[in-house]
């Protein structure tokens, strides 16, 4: 059992559930208390000790079903199927099995052990036999669907299925000579046949189950990694959805980090006035020291997001990030531009994320079908919205700086930078292409405090990390 | 202590709490392993009640610590009673000067005082707060640390020693070990995520909204006077509201409030007007109310149609007497 639990813990870890060693130990002592016989209690015990996040519960449930459905469950199901096929009630079946056992005592002297267990419906012994055999053929090494047949055959060979088949055939022939009633004989014959089928079925399903375990181990992990490295330009619809989840997670992480940081900075210098006042009750003896509360510096962010056609996938995604940011900080103002510039702060605040993005990208606020013109956008920003920026503001520009050979007006960006705390430019294009063609990145980057290539999720992660630290 | 998982379910039921097998198993495990439970879940599903009922069903004292931002050791663990100490020094001035008589020089005086300072930092002057009370209690008790997510990260770190070893270090008194390990329940609304270190030390229990049947059973248990039909309708409505994207999803406590309110008004079954008038007992935001009304309009119409089919011609105004 210990091994099984350790393996299950590994499986959970492979699927992104963090299970520590101590938790595995807890799971072990908990499962000792609940016992293994009751599947539900056992499941509860593992759930309470190994899974500590509500978001990880579905993963756990899925894996538990696959992992602990196990051989025992398969064998039980198979024998239930036999019982159903013979259309007997539980009691009848039990009586019938007694009958079988009697017959075996008389006639089955030259039967092999496994065949006996099979016919006697001794699932515990069968489970042990089959799992021994599975170990012998290294069933745990199965990886691909096409290997299923190979392993099923190997397992059958190891169990001696041919021999069992022959033995049961022989037994059926002997049945003729036995002094059983006709009805009983017919039943017995059907039972033997079905049992044999059941064993084959068990083997096949067991092999498939093992393969599924492997599958689940690798599936999710790989997918997420691939997406994280894939450029925003090439994401499919489904991947975009996955990405949204990732962005939300990212935002949540940002929130956690920020809240911790704020609290650390809460206590300030010793406050004499407050201390004296607080300790008047003790005759002015300063028992209870008081400190100034440091003012929280609320981060102010102004975001300028390019939503032109050339960065469509990226900008959808960036806007989502912007939306999440606006959720986090109270003082975020968001602007979008192609050639005109327009503010979307209110839209983002009042709508849920899907509507907000649609509004931004459909062209209700600015004409999104124009040719992008960064210079014009910056100039309009400086003339209309420069008041949004003060010395505590961080300005984030998201865009590829493809200016269609219009005037870059980089002096506007310089102006912005002079007033702001800092200017950060995130460019969804590869660094190699900056400055070529109509890209004005080399001009603009002179006026930024930080310029980052931000083409995929991993890069965005890095940028966020840096944003939080500084 | 509990004898088995079924024992937990039965005893809880006697205390008016319907525990699913899931909850009961975790409670049973916690009581046998003496591990703390971290209960998470949306507001109003009975997290805090769980601790109260646990205490009641084991006939133990409940010690409650409500967490909030800025909660520190002094308020959670212990505090020196400065005023009392000060008062004592004032009253005992004569004794102090007696101790000091004949002291040569400042140094000796300080030494003599130092010999006596244990008097002032003894348990006599400690004001125990919930955590110390739980540790020092002569009988085993149930300690509820409510809404731990509202507390600061520092406080959470401080709790770690308590939760793993059930001991507390007081610098002046040394380490105090628990005489009886308390049963600890921590609740969290997930305002922020708890640290892995804390989670590792706890059993985790996620209580979600109940199924229709469970909720009906709860309503029956808690509001025995409610009409069957009414409670069924209310539960159906609330369950359908939970599927909407609301700012604050109604919990069990809201369902109970609503049923109680409607029972008080002597209502036998829901109708549109009534729903609109009393909706604010379950939905607490303006935007949510609007969404809920949309959803309920549909629902009431459907019910009415069904009823109309059953008894054509019968009026719908049998609702308010």
Query: Rounded to two decimals, what is the model's pTM?
Result: 0.65
Nearest CA in chain B to A262: B152
B28 sits in which H/E element: helix B21-33
How many C-beta neighbours within 10 Å does residue A256 have?
Answer: 13
Q: CA A341, A346, A349 angle in degrees (round to 5)? A: 130
pLDDT of B101-115, one tens digit each? 888 888 888 888 888
Find the length of chain A. Answer: 470
* Interchain CB distance below 8 Å, A44 and B192: no
Range B174-194 burial, b when 16+ CB lie within 10 A, else e: eebebebbbbbbbbbeeebbb
Asked if A213 contacts A207 with a C-beta cutoff of 8 angstroms, the reply is no
C-alpha closest to that of B55 among B47, B67, B43, B63: B63
Find the length of chain B. Answer: 321
Asked if A40 reaches chain B (Cβ–Cβ under 8 Å), the answer is yes
The two structure tokens encoding residue A252: 């949540």
pLDDT of residue A401: 87
Evaluated on CA atoms A355, A361, A362, A365, the torsion sign reads positive
Asked if A348 contacts A326 with a C-beta cutoff of 8 angstroms, the reply is yes
Return the SS3 of A123: helix
* Interchain CB distance below 8 Å, A260 and B245: no
How many C-beta neighbours within 10 Å does residue B102 have?
Answer: 9
Burial of A432 (0-12, 13-18, 19+ CB in 10 A): exposed
Sequence-distant (6+) residues with CB within 8 A of B182 are B63, B134, B135, B137, B140, B141, B142, B143, B166
Residue B250 φ/ψ, nearest 5 degrees = -65, 135
| Contacts with B156 from chain A: Cβ below 8 Å | none
- Mean pLDDT over B5-11 rounds to 92
Return the SS3 of B244: coil
CA A343 to chain B, closest CA, distance in angstroms equals 24
User: Among all chains, which residue has been given the structure tokens 């309708």?
Assistant: B233
* Interchain CB distance below 8 Å, A52 and B154: no
pLDDT of B256-304, one tens digit each? 988 998 888 888 777 778 888 888 888 888 878 888 888 777 777 777 7
DSSP letter for B313, please.
Answer: T
CA A258 to chain B, closest CA, distance in angstroms equals 11
Residue-level pLDDT, tens digit, chain A, 470 residues: 788 888 889 888 877 788 889 899 999 999 888 887 778 888 999 999 998 887 788 888 888 887 776 777 788 888 888 888 877 787 888 888 887 777 777 776 677 777 777 777 777 788 888 888 888 888 877 777 788 888 888 888 888 888 888 888 888 887 777 777 777 778 888 888 888 888 888 888 888 888 877 766 565 555 556 666 666 666 666 666 666 666 766 666 665 555 544 544 556 778 888 888 888 887 778 878 888 776 555 667 888 888 887 777 777 777 777 777 777 667 788 898 888 898 888 888 887 777 777 777 777 788 888 888 899 999 999 999 888 888 878 888 888 888 888 888 889 999 999 998 888 888 888 888 888 888 888 889 899 888 888 877 778 777 776 665 54
Q: Choose among B29, B41, B245: nearest Cβ to A30.
A: B29
Please name every residue paired with B1 in a beta bridge, in sequence order, or none if there are none: none
pLDDT of residue B315: 43
Nearest CA in chain A to B202: A49
Asked if A291 reaches chain B (Cβ–Cβ under 8 Å), the answer is no
Please name every residue paired with B40 in a beta bridge, in sequence order, or none if there are none: B188, B206
C-alpha closest to that of A467 among A355, A362, A328: A328
Q: Choose among A29, A30, A54: nearest Cβ to B206.
A: A54
How far, in Å, CA of A219 to CA of A91, rounded?
Answer: 45
Please give the mean pLDDT across all residues of chain B: 84
Helix, strand, coil % over all residues of chain A, rounded to 5: 70, 10, 25
Asked if B301 reaches chain A (Cβ–Cβ under 8 Å), the answer is no
Q: Choose among B86, B199, B204: nearest Cβ to A282.
A: B86
| Contacts with A40 from chain B: Cβ below 8 Å | 21, 25
How far, in Å, CA of A215 to CA of A209, rounded?
Answer: 10
Asked if B185 contacts B146 with a C-beta cutoff of 8 angstroms, the reply is no
Nearest CA in chain B to A57: B206
| Contacts with A52 from chain B: Cβ below 8 Å | 38, 196, 199-200, 202, 204
How far, in Å, CA of B25 to CA of A47, rounded?
Answer: 10
| Contacts with A281 from chain B: Cβ below 8 Å | 83
pLDDT of B23-33, one tens digit each? 999 999 999 98
How far, in Å, CA of B59 to CA of B39, rounded?
Answer: 21
The two structure tokens encoding residue A316: 């959808």
* Interchain CB distance below 8 Å, A20 and B200: yes
pLDDT of B205-248, one tens digit each? 999 888 898 899 889 888 888 888 888 888 988 888 888 877 78
Q: Which of residues 346-385 of A touch B (CB under 8 A)?
A: 352
C-alpha closest to that of B260 among B207, B299, B221: B221
How far, in Å, CA of A180 to CA of B78, rounded?
Answer: 84
Res B55 pLDDT > 90: yes
CA B122 to chain A, closest CA, distance in angstroms equals 17
The two structure tokens encoding residue A315: 């900008």
């Amino acid at each position: 059992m210990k091994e099984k639990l350790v393996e299950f813990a590994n499986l959970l870890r492979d699927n992104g559930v963090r299970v520590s060693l101590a938790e595995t130990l807890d799971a072990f002592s908990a499962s000792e208390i609940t016992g293994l016989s009751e599947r539900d209690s056992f499941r509860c015990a593992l759930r309470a000790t190994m899974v500590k996040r509500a978001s990880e519960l579905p993963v756990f449930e899925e894996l538990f079903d696959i992992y602990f459905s196990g051989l025992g469950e398969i064998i039980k199901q198979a024998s239930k199927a036999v019982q159903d096929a013979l259309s007997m009630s539980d009691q009848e079946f039990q009586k019938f099995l007694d009958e079988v056992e009697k017959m075996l005592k008389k006639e089955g002297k030259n039967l092999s052990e496994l065949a006996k267990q099979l016919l006697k419906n001794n699932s515990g012994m069968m489970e042990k036999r089959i799992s021994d055999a599975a170990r012998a053929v290294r069933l745990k090494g199965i990886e691909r669907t096409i290997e299923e047949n190979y392993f099923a055959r190997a397992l059958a060979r190891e169990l001696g299925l041919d021999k069992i088949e022959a033995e049961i055939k022989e037994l059926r022939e002997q049945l003729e000579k036995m002094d059983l009633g006709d009805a009983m004989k017919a039943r017995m014959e059907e039972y033997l046949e079905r049992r044999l089928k059941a064993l084959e079925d068990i083997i096949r399903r067991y092999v498939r189950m093992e393969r599924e375990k492997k599958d689940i181990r690798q599936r999710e992990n790989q997918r997420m990694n691939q997406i994280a490295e894939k450029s925003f330009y090439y994401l499919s619809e489904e991947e975009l959805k996955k990405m949204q989840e990732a962005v939300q997670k990212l935002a949540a992480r940002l929130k956690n980090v920020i809240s911790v940081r704020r609290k650390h900075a809460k206590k300030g210098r010793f406050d004499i006035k407050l201390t004296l006042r607080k300790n008047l009750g003790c005759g002015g003896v300063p028992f209870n020291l008081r400190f100034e509360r440091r003012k929280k510096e609320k981060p102010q962010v102004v975001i300028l997001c390019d939503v032109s056609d050339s960065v469509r996938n990226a900008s959808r995604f960036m806007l989502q990030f912007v939306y999440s940011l606006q959720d986090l900080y109270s003082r975020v103002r968001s602007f979008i531009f192609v050639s005109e510039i327009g503010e979307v702060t209110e839209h983002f605040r009042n709508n849920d994320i899907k509507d907000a993005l649609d509004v931004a990208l459909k062209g209700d606020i600015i004409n999104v079908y124009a040719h992008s013109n960064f210079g014009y956008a910056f100039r309009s920003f400086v003339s209309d919205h420069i008041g949004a920026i003060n010395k505590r503001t961080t300005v984030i520009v998201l865009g590829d700086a493809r200016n269609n050979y219009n005037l870059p007006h980089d002096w506007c960006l310089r102006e912005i930078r002079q007033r702001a705390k800092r200017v950060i430019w995130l460019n969804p294009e590869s660094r190699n292409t900056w400055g070529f063609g109509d890209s004005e990145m080399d001009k603009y980057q002179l006026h930024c405090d930080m310029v980052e290539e931000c083409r995929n999720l991993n890069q965005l992660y890095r940028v966020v990390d840096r944003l939080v630290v500084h | 202590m509990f004898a088995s998982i079924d024992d937990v379910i039965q005893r809880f039921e006697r205390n008016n709490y319907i525990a699913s097998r899931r909850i009961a198993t975790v409670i049973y495990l916690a009581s046998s392993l003496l591990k703390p439970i971290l209960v998470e879940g949306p507001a109003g599903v009975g997290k805090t009640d769980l601790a109260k009922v646990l205490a009641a069903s084991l006939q133990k004292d409940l010690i409650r610590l409500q967490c909030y931002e800025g909660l520190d050791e002094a308020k959670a663990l212990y505090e020196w009673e400065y005023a009392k100490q000060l008062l004592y020094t004032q009253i005992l001035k004569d004794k102090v000067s007696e101790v000091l008589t004949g002291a040569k020089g400042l140094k000796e005086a300080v030494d003599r005082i130092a010999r006596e300072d244990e008097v002032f930092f003894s348990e006599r002057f400690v004001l125990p707060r919930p955590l110390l009370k739980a540790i020092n209690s002569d009988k085993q008790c149930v300690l509820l640390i409510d809404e731990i997510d509202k507390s600061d990260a520092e406080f959470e770190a401080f709790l770690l020693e308590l939760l793993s070893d059930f001991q507390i270090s007081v610098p002046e008194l040394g380490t105090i070990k628990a005489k009886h390990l308390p049963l600890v329940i921590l609740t969290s609304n997930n305002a922020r995520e708890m640290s892995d270190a804390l989670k590792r030390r706890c059993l985790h229990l996620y209580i979600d909204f109940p199924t229709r049947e469970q909720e009906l059973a709860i309503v029956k248990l808690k509001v025995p006077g409610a009409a069957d039909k009414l409670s069924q309708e209310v539960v159906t409505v609330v369950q359908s509201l939970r599927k909407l994207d609301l700012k604050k999803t109604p919990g069990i406590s809201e369902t109970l409030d609503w049923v109680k309110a409607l029972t008080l008004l002597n209502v036998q079954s829901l109708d549109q007007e009534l729903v609109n008038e009393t909706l604010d007992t379950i939905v607490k935001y303006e935007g949510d109310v609007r969404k809920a009304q949309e959803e309920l309009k549909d629902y009431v119409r459907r019910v009415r149609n069904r009823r109309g089919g059953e008894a054509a011609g019968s009026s719908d105004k049998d609702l308010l007497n």
